[in-house]
Structure 1
Amino acid sequence: MAGAAAETAPERTARPWLSPLNQRRLQNFRANRRGYWSLWIFLVLFVLSLFSEWIANDKPVLVSYKGEILFPVVVAYPEEKFGGFYAVTDYRDPVIQDEINAHGWMIWPPVRYSYRTVNNAIPEAAPTKPSWLYDVKTRCNQYPQGAADPNCVVGNWNWLGTDDQ
């Protein structure tokens, strides 16, 4: 008897992921191409914004200094750690950069400006045009070694012409 009862018990089928009504709603949303692609573009931009500190920042992502690995994007280290005097480290300062490069290395984000960085070394009076419109000599003349200076890189350019204000 126990075997017969087990055989006649209805099989449990897996519940669908969505109800039929919600499946129809999803199908209608996917049929709306503009809304569907807008969702995907929004999601890509949202994920990129989560990594914005590692894409554009005026602090290095990773610093090796005297055998110690530091993460300036995550932790605010005082300048006295690198031989300076201030409470907040300005990693764009040539003295701090030389000190770190003499005793280690830095990995910078692709864009070396944050939202609050002001570029005071501009080639002409403000407001200036974007750096990519200048030739290399004009763009890099504020650096000590000119166009050969290691700091005259793509990440230090004034891309939109708004970093000087």
Structure 2
Amino acid sequence: MQNNTTTTEPTPNGGEGQHLPNETYLQYVKRQFRKNRLARTALYFTYFMFCVAIFADFLANDRPIACSYKGEFYMPVVQDYLKGMGMYRYPKELNNVDWKSLEYDWSFFPPVKYHGNGIDGANPFVPPFTSGSDHFLGTDQVGHDLLAGLIHGARISLSVGFISMSIAAFVGISLGAMAGYFGGWVDMLISRLIELFLNFPTLFLIITVVAFYGANIFFMMVVIGLTGWTGIARLIRGEVLRIRNMEYITAANSIGFPAFRIIWRQVLPNALAPVLVSIAFGIAGAILTESTLSFLGLGVPAEVVTWGAILDGSRSATFAWWMAIFPGCMIFLSVVSYNLIGDGLRDALDPRLKT
């Protein structure tokens, strides 16, 4: 009898949804993700913004990166960090000095010679790209350099996004894994807790916290994290329910491994894939929430520069279009980038979900 069954071999370039020989699952996901040009471009943009946030003080600062003053060598940007940790003290003549007014032997300043909250009081409302001005993207109503504000604002926005979603991921993964693995009354209790937290409006809860404790970025990140874990918990619960009856989990139980060891070392590594998508979307939502609160004047203290705070200043100066366009574009690009990364991860992790 003739056998009509055919075997499909992977194509040399890795066909749609096919694994290459000796390819791990992680390598497969990376290869599928790279095929999505929009997601790949968005990832490169987030890498760029991550670098901007880390090196913000070296990109926009009113102090030199390195200089020689009266024969002595200084690195004020680095030494400021050391001073904050109690590891360095400036000479008395350099305490509270205007570094830009000093006469150096030589100096190397950042590309933008203004700090995020520095003020050039003589140049308010300077339009962008003005000839002869060193404010490349203009200034606001009091003389804050807009480009410096955008650079330092990236640090706040990314911090809120990553820290708040780290809190949400930790809580959601922990509770969701316990609910899915143990089942019974544990599952019922955690499911009711999820339903309870789903009814908490994040925005109004943060406004309530601000009313009691004042604008505080730490409280904002905690509230966003403690109200954003429910979706992650439900995803993890569903994945753990699917995995817990598989043979290798049954074998681990029969050997006598502790339940929490099985959860953290055997179950979760195989259940985290959908959570990465949810975290990417969650970071975008956290950045948007922070920008909304800062726009309303409720997110962070007034002296902290954020994209939303810059956008808020444009309401009282409608003619200064650059105060709305540039921070608005940064918020838009950041939110869209994380959403595109989430879409790319979803398609890479499960090609059947592609639209």
Answer yes or no: same fold by TM over 0.5: yes
**In the alignment, what sits opposite 1:160?**
138
Runs (5+) with no aligned partner, structure 1: 1-15, 140-153
Number of corresponding residues: 114
SS in 1 for 2:92: helix
SS in 1 for 2:99: coil
What are the within-5 Å matches in structure 2 for residues 134-149 of structure 1? 135-136=131-132
Report whether the alignment pairs 1:55 with 2:59. yes
SS in 2 for 1:112: coil
SS in 2 for 1:69: strand
Which of 85, 88, 102 pairs up with 2:96? 88
Looking at CA atoms only, which structure, 1 or 2, has the larger radius of gyration? 1
SS in 1 for 2:68: strand
Report whether the alignment pairs 1:42 with 2:42. no
TM-superposed CA distance for 1:132, in Å, is 3.0
Change (3 A) 1:118 1:27: same
Conserved? CA contact 1:57–1:112, under 8 Å = yes
Change (3 A) 1:39 1:131: closer
Deviations 1:115-148 (A, max 9, x none): 11011112xxx5x232633x54xx5xxxxxxxxx
**In the alignment, what sits opposite 2:113?**
112
Runs (5+) with no aligned partner, structure 2: 1-21, 81-88, 145-355
Which of 68, 73, 86 pairs up with 2:77? 73
Conserved? CA contact 1:56–1:109, under 8 Å = yes
Change (3 A) 1:88 1:129: closer
Cα RMSD (Å): 2.6
**In the alignment, what sits opposite 1:130?**
127
Report whether the alignment pairs 1:23 with 2:23. no
SS in 1 for 2:129: helix
**Counterpart AA for 1:113:** Y
TM-superposed CA distance for 1:62, in Å, is 1.1
TM-superposed CA distance for 1:89, in Å, is 2.1
Distance in 2 between residues matched to 1:105 and 1:26, nearest whole Å: 47
Runs of 4+ in 1 over 6 A off after TM superposition: none
Change (3 A) 1:158 1:32: closer
Of Structure 1 and Structure 2, the greater helix share is in: 2
Distance in 2 between residues matched to 1:36 and 1:64, nearest whole Å: 43
Distance in 2 between residues matched to 1:65 and 1:159, nearest whole Å: 31
**Counterpart AA for 1:116:** N
TM-superposed CA distance for 1:79, in Å, is 6.8
- TM-score, normalised to structure 1, is 0.56
**In the alignment, what sits opposite 2:290?**
none
Conserved? CA contact 1:78–1:88, under 8 Å = no
Change (3 A) 1:33 1:57: same
Identity %: 25
**Counterpart AA for 1:44:** F
**Counterpart AA for 1:159:** L
